[in-house]
Structure formats: structure tokens, C-alpha cells
Structure 1
Amino acid sequence: MATRVAVVGCGQWGQNHVRALAEFGVLAAVADRDPAKAARFAERYGVRGLSPDEAVESADLDALVLALPAVVHGPVARRALAAAKDVLVEKPIALDPADALATAEAARRANRILMVGHVLRYHPVFQELARQVAARRIGAVRHIVAMRQGLGRFLGMDAVWDLAPHDLSLVLKIAGEAPVRIETMRRTVLSDDTDAADIALGFESGVSAEIHVSRVSPYRDRRFSVIGSEGMLTFDDLAPEGQKLAFHPHRVWREAPGGFGFRHADAEFIETEPGLPLDRELRHFLHCVEHRSEPETGAAEAVETVRILAQASPPPRD
């Protein structure tokens, strides 16, 4: 029997989950705090419309996708896990590390699947970049640079918590370890909170990373680059199809006495698979539910991401 899934939260991003799961034939219900909104989506997709509490308690649902305000992700997820449901939670899973850890522990106790919605981890271009790195196309990884800039998204959450989770997840995948050093420079520019930030990460292996986020940039930038000893790879999400993943065979070498030489080379574009990241993420979640396997972006990553975010941009004190 197909997995029976409900989406809890029919907001801007939750609607995308509803659409995809309906196309997969596994959408069994939709839920929202606004009964009228739940009813509209239920009628559109021919499923039940529920309240969030009803979705958590419903015995004929196997899994929930939570697309709610981050502050309630933890409490709702823990209730769902205790009710023997597998859970995919949108990012961030919590707004403080203790809450995230409590949800991860609840999943462990209940022996249920807990996955966090770091959707860019399922982007076919990033997945090919990760394969190229693992195959040592660029030699040893030395440094990672992530750029996420644009104008807008003033959603009551500072730019670090809103924008950086995507790139933190990518960095953690490439680095393969948790950072041991976290330094942040935050700037309030046009709102009352952090509008732009630079996060520097250091890892025990010697790999370093820098993440730049801004919601007050006059131009958009969505690039993720990995610099290695034998070249560089860049995932540019705004580039035309066929040019989103580039290998730069640039080289830098030591020259005596005490100098360095370098060679600049033209980019080589790498072919990648087609596919929508959200569709691939949800199919992965369904696979994990059906086969009882650990998600690519599971509980451990969810907790580590929130730990880094909390150090990079602590919540304001009352």
C-alpha cells in the first residue's frame, strides 16, 4: 500500500509540497490552522481537509510534511513522532539547539524517520558537484564559498536564519564534518534585524568555508564554489541550463624562493541530470519511509545546522 502523507501548513512553500505529493499519488490529506484554506486545498486535490491537531492524531496517516512557522516545528514534530508518524520538517527544524535536539531524541525513541527539508541537497546540480568532489576532480578540498544574495524576504526572521540554512547544509555535505570554529559579521541595513551577514567556518581537517547572505543586495547571486588543490567547481543556480555546473581547471603552485605561480583556464561545463529539487527530496523521503532507511538530511544534520545558526546569529534576549 502506498504511503499516506499529509501536508501540515498550506502556505507559499507548503503548497509546493501539496502539489508534488498529489502528483506522486500519496497525498491523503492537507491541514492548516485556517480551516477555510485547508478546505480549499482539500477540494482542489480531492483529499481530506484537517486541522493540524487532527493530522497529528489521525490513525490512517503514515507520514507528515510540516511547513509551519519554525517556532512550532519542534512541538508539532514531537507530537507526530509520538503518534507513530514519520516526519519531514521544513528548515529550520527549530530556533534553538535544545529544541532541535529534543525533536531528534523523540524520533530516536519512537524509531521513526525524521528528515529536514534542506531542498538544495537534492538539487541534481549540487549532487553532481558532490560526486565530482568525491571523485577528487579538484584534488583535496581546501575552501568553500557560498553566495546567497538578493532583495526581499523580510519574513520576521533575520537573514542568517532565513537564508543560511541552505548553504550550511551544502557546506556540511562537502566538508564531511562539523565546524570547530564559527565567526560571524552581521549587519542591520534597511530593517530592524540582520539584513546581511558573513559567516566563516573552520574545520578540524583544515578545510575552511565562508557563507555570504544578504536580503538587501541590488542583484541576485546564488553561487556555491568548492576550491581544491587541483581546480575549482562552481554551482551557479542562476546560470542557463547546461551551464549551472562548471569545472575551473585553475592552478596555483609554489615557486622558489617564497613565491607562487598561477594559471587561469576556461571553464568546462559539466552535464547534470534533470529534475526538480523538491520532487527529488520528497521521493527520497518516501523511499526512506518505505525502506526504513536514514535520510540524506536526517536528524543529526538538522541538529548541527541549528547549532551553527544559533552561534552565528543568537536569538535576541528578552
Structure 2
Amino acid sequence: MTRPLRLAVVGLGAISPYYLAAARRLPGWELTAVCDARAEALERVPGPVARFRDHRALLYRARPDALVVSVPNDVHLPLCRDALAAGVPVCVEKPLALTAAEGRVLVDLARRADVPLMTAFHRRYNAAVRTLARRTAGREIVSVRVRYLERIEEHLGGEDWYLDPARCGGGCVADNGPNALDLVRLLLGDLTVTGCAIRRDGHGVDRQAVIGLRGGAATASVELDWSYPGECKDLEVELAGGEVLRADMLDGHSGFKASLWHEYEAVLTEFAALVRGRVPAGPGAHGGLAALELVEAAYRCARPASGTIARPAAEAIARPAAQPSAAEVDR
């Protein structure tokens, strides 16, 4: 019988509970070590696991089979680089890195070291999204619309770095954008940014954005909002012939952020397959670098030399966000 893989988790912030719970539930993993600079965060982790204040000490002493990186965005590069250089497979929270240039460094290192590097786009593992993806497979898609709307202050979990553009990378485009853009890539493949409108607050944080995209003959839009009263995460696909399919990522999951439990369980299931070599382990698995490049293209598009914004995107962001649809893809 194949022994469980020894997993270490670095970064015990708002997202780590989902990884820790999934690692304990899945038979293919054994949680062996955690790391955080904060002693109080380490003390909150139950069970007989090794605890470290420095990730380099963890890599040297715990010698895990794989590493989850769940730290602020600006620390992804050095931490992932150290793990890959040590030959340890990495599953890193989105975004892969703070910039596309940093992402290329990590992808190149993973390729040269032949070590799996996976970006955890957890929304592609959502049950409703997977059902929609199956129903659209092989069919002609006319358009895709993704809405990713929330009030960010309700989701911080004490992690104020989200509201620091230097650490987050910008705001909703840099942090939520990769998840939403990955959903479009899941359905359409390679994408081109065709327009973008962004509204920022007085601190330079993106609070709202609409990104226009094209994938082959299909068009797409991604709507992001960090000032939305409540939460709405959904996906709408129009097929040739006029049929419209929808996936509500929150439907059927009662409780705040309850949908994340099954999504992160699926993330670690696929990560285990990558580590064991059971599925192709191309560097930057699931398009971590591609998402960063789309994010940077969106930022460039939102700052044209003329200072104007393409009218369709500007009008879209000016409209009040629609209420979530109760409809969902049939299971």
C-alpha cells in the first residue's frame, strides 16, 4: 500500500484552515509540519505536528514530500523558490507570484528542477463549476460571464495585507482576478484582454473592475467587486443556439465560505496526483503564469495613454451589481 504523502503548510492565515482540514480528511496525505512567523498561530494548530517559525528550517528538518504555500502574495516568490530549489513540490495559493516576471522565475525553476508547481485555483474545483464544464464540453460557446463579488473586509480574517497594494499586487484584480480569469480559461482556453475598467479607493486599492476578454470566437467578461453588500460568485455561459447555463458557486453550501471545504479537498486530491506523477505535472499547472499575464494585461488596458476607458467596460462597472441568480446548473 502506498504510504501517505507528508505535507507541510506554510502560512496559517485565513485560507489555511481549509488546507489543514482537507489534509486530515484525505487518506493520501499526512499533515506533518506547519510554519508561521506568529507563535500564536502555531499554537492554534491541533495535533502532533512539527511547528516552525522559519520555512527554511522546516524544509531542512521536516523534509516534507510536498508543501502548501499560503502566505501573503508578496512572499510567494522567495518561499516557493526555496522549496523548489530543495526539490519539494509546491501548491501555492493564487496568484502564483506578485508579478508575471516573478511567476516566470518560478515556472523556469520548476521546469529545470523537474519539480511539480501547482497554483491553487480552488474555484475550478467547485461542484457547480465542474458540472457546467462537463455540460459545455465540446459545444460552441458564444460568451462567458463570471461574477466575483464580495465585501473584502468580511473576508480578511485578520489578514490586512489584502488592503496593501504593495503586498497584494493591487486589489480585486490582482487577488480575486486570477480565480475568475481561470474559470474563463477553463472553458475557453487561451485568452486575450480586450478592455478593462477599474475603480480604486483613496489608498490605490482596486475596489471594482470589469475585464473584457476574447477566447477564440467567444467573448467573456469578468466582474470583480470588493465593496459588494454580501457575496456573489457565479458563472454564466451562452451557447450557440441561445441556451444559457449557470453555475452558482455558493448554492448548496450553507454558512460563510462553506463552499471552500469541498474545493480545497479537491485541490489537495489533484496535488497528490501531481506529486505522485499520476497526471501531467507541467510547471505552472493550471495556468498560474497565464493568469498573472492576464492580470497585468488588464492593468495595462485600464491605463491607456489617453486616459479614457472603453465605453462597454465603463458602462458595465457603473451599473449596480446584479443580485445573485437562484438558478444553478442541474446536478
TM norm. shorter chain > 0.5: yes
Match of 2:248 in 1: 236
Distance in 2 (alpha carbons) for counterparts of 1:26 and 1:194: 38
Residue pairs, 1:13-52, within 5 angstroms? 13-24=15-26, 25-41=29-45, 44-50=46-52, 51-52=54-55
Counterpart pick for 1:83 among 51, 74, 86? 86
2:137 aligned with 1:134: yes
Q: Is the 8 A contact 1:57 1:80 kept in 2?
A: no
Secondary structure, counterpart of 1:291 in structure 2: coil
Distance in 2 (alpha carbons) for counterparts of 1:202 and 1:297: 25
Match of 2:293 in 1: 307
Distance in 1 (alpha carbons) for counterparts of 2:252 and 2:283: 27
More strand by share: 1
Shift of the 312–22 alpha-carbon distance from structure 1 to 2, 3 Å rule, reads same
Match of 1:143 in 2: 143
Distance in 1 (alpha carbons) for counterparts of 2:172 and 2:39: 31
After the TM superposition, which of the residue ranges 32-41 and 193-202 deviates more from structure 2? 32-41
Distance in 2 (alpha carbons) for counterparts of 1:120 and 1:3: 24
Residue identity in the other structure for 1:71? D
* Offset at residue 2 of structure 1 (A): 1.7
Secondary structure, counterpart of 1:148 in structure 2: strand
Per-residue CA deviations over 1:32-66 (Å, capped at 9, x if unaligned) read 1123422442xx12111123121233363111000
Secondary structure, counterpart of 2:13 in structure 1: coil
2:200 aligned with 1:198: no
Residue pairs, 1:210-221, within 5 angstroms? 210-221=221-232
Secondary structure, counterpart of 2:244 in structure 1: strand
What TM-score, normalized to structure 2?
0.77
Superposition RMSD in Å: 2.3
Residue pairs, 1:1-318, within 5 angstroms? 1-24=3-26, 25-41=29-45, 44-50=46-52, 51-58=54-61, 60-136=63-139, 140-153=140-153, 155-156=162-163, 157=168, 158-176=171-189, 178-189=190-201, 192-203=204-215, 205-230=216-241, 231-240=243-252, 276-294=262-280, 298-299=284-285, 301-313=287-299
Residue identity in the other structure for 1:232? V
Distance in 2 (alpha carbons) for counterparts of 1:197 and 1:293: 35
* Offset at residue 152 of structure 1 (A): 2.6
Q: Is the 8 A contact 1:284 1:295 kept in 2?
A: no
Q: Is the 8 A contact 1:33 1:52 kept in 2?
A: no
Match of 2:258 in 1: none
* Offset at residue 190 of structure 1 (A): 7.0
Q: Is the 8 A contact 1:6 1:61 kept in 2?
A: yes
Q: Is the 8 A contact 1:18 1:30 kept in 2?
A: no
Structure 1 residue runs without a partner (length 5+):
242-274
Distance in 2 (alpha carbons) for counterparts of 1:184 and 1:291: 39
Residue identity in the other structure for 1:14? S
* Offset at residue 106 of structure 1 (A): 0.8
Q: Is the 8 A contact 2:5 2:272 kept in 1?
A: yes
Distance in 1 (alpha carbons) for counterparts of 2:221 and 2:131: 21
How many aligned residue pairs are there?
A: 276
Distance in 2 (alpha carbons) for counterparts of 1:286 and 1:133: 27
Structure 2 residue runs without a partner (length 5+):
157-161, 254-260, 304-331
Residue identity in the other structure for 2:41? K
Match of 1:258 in 2: none
Per-residue CA deviations over 1:176-195 (Å, capped at 9, x if unaligned) read 2x223332100125764221
Distance in 2 (alpha carbons) for counterparts of 1:38 and 1:84: 25
Shift of the 129–295 alpha-carbon distance from structure 1 to 2, 3 Å rule, reads farther
Shift of the 135–297 alpha-carbon distance from structure 1 to 2, 3 Å rule, reads farther
Q: Is the 8 A contact 1:113 1:292 kept in 2?
A: no
Residue identity in the other structure for 2:97? A
Distance in 1 (alpha carbons) for counterparts of 2:11 and 2:275: 20
* Offset at residue 296 of structure 1 (A): 9.2
Shift of the 30–240 alpha-carbon distance from structure 1 to 2, 3 Å rule, reads closer
Residue identity in the other structure for 2:25? E
